[in-house]
């Protein structure tokens, strides 16, 4: 099954995930891009160590490069759309609650504007 990848964009035009990716050095951007292509190919079938379900419809894409633990949070909409909401550098064992809450807010905003169920 083919999946479509979309990056969340707020009403004021901010793109948290793309901004995060663009801020990384070239080698990191390249590995993040490869992970995103893999996610786009496999969608729901993406498993550990690359992806992890965090709860409430939010997943994390896990990319390790040169000792850095990049995380992109995303959700599925319908059968074939993946919406990547944001990215951050993970420094603790668990995803910080404020990062998960932010992803949930972005998801609720996206669903409120484009339809679907929360």
Cα–Cα distance measured from residue 10 to residue 109, given in angstroms and rounded to the nearest whole number: 8
Q: Is the pTM of this model over 0.85?
A: yes
pLDDT-derived band at 36, boundaries 50, 70, 90: very high
4-114 domain in CATH 3.30.2310.20?
A: yes
Q: What is the pLDDT of residue 118?
A: 54
Helix ranges, the chain (H):
16-22, 26-42, 97-114
What are 81-105's pLDDT values in tens digits?
999 999 999 998 899 999 999 999 9
From residue 33, alpha-carbon distances to 29, 93, 94, 106 in Å are 6, 24, 23, 21
Question: What number of other Cβ atoms are within 10 A of residue 101's Cβ?
Answer: 12
What are 40-78's pLDDT values in tens digits?
999 999 999 999 999 999 999 999 999 999 999 999 999
Contact status, residue 60 vs residue 71, Cβ threshold 8 Å: yes
């Amino acid at each position: 099954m083919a999946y479509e990848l979309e990056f969340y964009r707020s009403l004021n035009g901010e793109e948290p995930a793309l901004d995060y990716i663009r801020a990384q050095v070239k080698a990191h951007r390249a590995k993040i891009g490869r992970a995103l292509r893999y996610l786009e190919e496999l969608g729901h079938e993406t498993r550990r160590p690359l992806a992890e379900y965090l709860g409430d419809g939010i997943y994390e894409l896990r990319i390790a490069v040169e000792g850095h633990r990049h995380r992109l949070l995303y959700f599925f909409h319908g059968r074939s759309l993946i919406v990547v909401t944001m990215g951050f550098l993970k420094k603790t064992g668990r995803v910080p609650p404020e990062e998960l809450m932010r992803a949930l807010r972005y998801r609720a905003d996206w669903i409120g504007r484009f339809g679907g169920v929360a």
